[in-house]
Amino acid sequence: MGMLTKLRERAGRDGGANAGGGRGADACPDESRAGRGPRGQAGRTGSGAGSGAGAGSGTHSGSGAGGDRGGLGGHHLSGLGGGFGGGRGDNPGSGRGGHARRPRRGAAAGRRLVRYLPALVIVAGLLFDYLTPSRITASPLFAAAPLIAAPFYSLRGTLMVAVAALLSELGLHLYVGSAYKVESISELLTVLVVAGLALYINGVVRRSGQRLASARIIAETAQRAVLPRPAERIGGLRVAARYEAAQEGAFIGGDLFAVQETPYGVRLVVGDVRGKGLVAVEAVAVVIGAFREAAEQETSLEGVARRLEHSLTREMLRREGLDAVEGFTTAVLAEIPPDGTVVRLVNRGHPEPLLVNGDGAVRTLAPCDTSLPLGMSELGGWPDRIEQAAYPPGATLLFYTDGLSEARNPQGVFYVPSERLDGRVFQGPDEMLQALIDDVRVHTGGGSQDDMALLAVTRPPEGAPERRRTIPIVP
């Protein structure tokens, strides 16, 4: 609602002031880019007025050098299985290593405790019954053991815990010579009934787990159908893509990406559909389907953007309620001509992509003028403007959704990818994306609060041999 209100205010304030065709390379003066931060975070890296949600005040000046947010090898990656070396913060990292995430100690300790808890409860029951007077019984502890095991153990494991609890209860009564008393028989029956209930609960949990696993497989299959991962080499460029769901086990949401080789070069789209659930997935399918058709037929990126606009508008006509008036998609379209020397962009209200040079220098490809997201043409008509930038050999284009730029740590500090990547060199696009995902997990303390789609496209250095993947041979 807040984003739509701002866009409507802009429509009333600016209505149709923008006119003209596309812009060439470096059309925006350098000073217009000063102080421009990520969307909604203007002023984070400078003192100028940002072009995001408001004017920045430069409260977080500098690029992180010497601060506790100083580079991908610094404070936030200490202890992350090697991470990236050469951090510029107060706590430099330990060098270039793998990207394996270190498991949380708390989670591992919790799993070990659950594994041994039923046995510990039975042992506690034996000691309690042995050390207390005969009128005090430990049968509640023996009855609790199979109930604790039911949600976490297999059927066989739960049955073994139930048998151990029954034998422990019976053995104690035989030891003290009270096995045939009414109270003892009642306690044994109580443990037996609870053990049967635990076996039933175990069966319910196992069936629920099977249904959940089936749902995850279906969701993953749907993602592969609607949002297939692009090939590693497209049009001579190296490509890598990642989709990280905010909730573990959820494979697809409203973020999207697609890359396609066309007669006009390699064209791609990265976007974020408003909303969640099935409605968002339907919009993702509409956008990607329209993009693949338009990318082959339209001679310009402006034409592709118009086709996407028409497709989303037609899709909203068949919807009801809030989705019929507030369904929109932020997106950035890109085109890399066959010679690969430049990149052309059309940005429709999406976070600005980054151009990471081979030496680690980072440049934000911010548009000269902001544009409305796709699906909001009823607020006003602004012609799409093509921004063009040089695309040198060895450089990588990074496209992402707001799940990356709006990820926050426990103190509420946003993640700034341009600062985190500045000065870092990667072997390829896949390594860059994995590094970002690991760093976001460290920054947020476990994961992003929103879905996150990442797409990296690298122009190989001139004369560089083609990188091949080694596949182990199994005899």
Could you tell me how far CA 417 lies from the centroid of its own chain? 14
**Quick check: 436 pLDDT over 70?**
yes
Confidence band of 133 (pLDDT split at 50, 70, 90)? confident
In tens, the pLDDT along 47-90 reads: 333 333 333 333 333 333 333 333 443 333 333 333 333 333 33
Per-residue model confidence (pLDDT) at position 102: 44
Confidence band of 251 (pLDDT split at 50, 70, 90)? low
Q: Average pLDDT over the chain, rounded to whole?
A: 74
Residue at token pair 């990280």: 244
- Interatomic CA distance for residues 142 and 193, integer angstroms: 12
Both tokens assigned to 37: 């931060």
Q: What is the DSSP string of 433-459?
A: HHHHHHHHHHHHTS--SS-EEEEEEE-
- Interatomic CA distance for residues 181 and 100, integer angstroms: 60
**Quick check: 38 pLDDT over 70?**
no
Per-residue model confidence (pLDDT) at position 28: 59
443 against 381, higher pLDDT: 443
Confidence band of 107 (pLDDT split at 50, 70, 90)? low
Per-residue model confidence (pLDDT) at position 336: 96
Residues 321, 383 contacting (CB under 8 angstroms)? no
| Amino acid sitting at position 130 | Y
Instruction: Please count the other Cβ atoms lying within 10 Å of the Cβ belonging to residue 109.
Output: 10
Both tokens assigned to 175: 């030891």
In tens, the pLDDT along 12-31 reads: 444 444 434 444 444 454 43
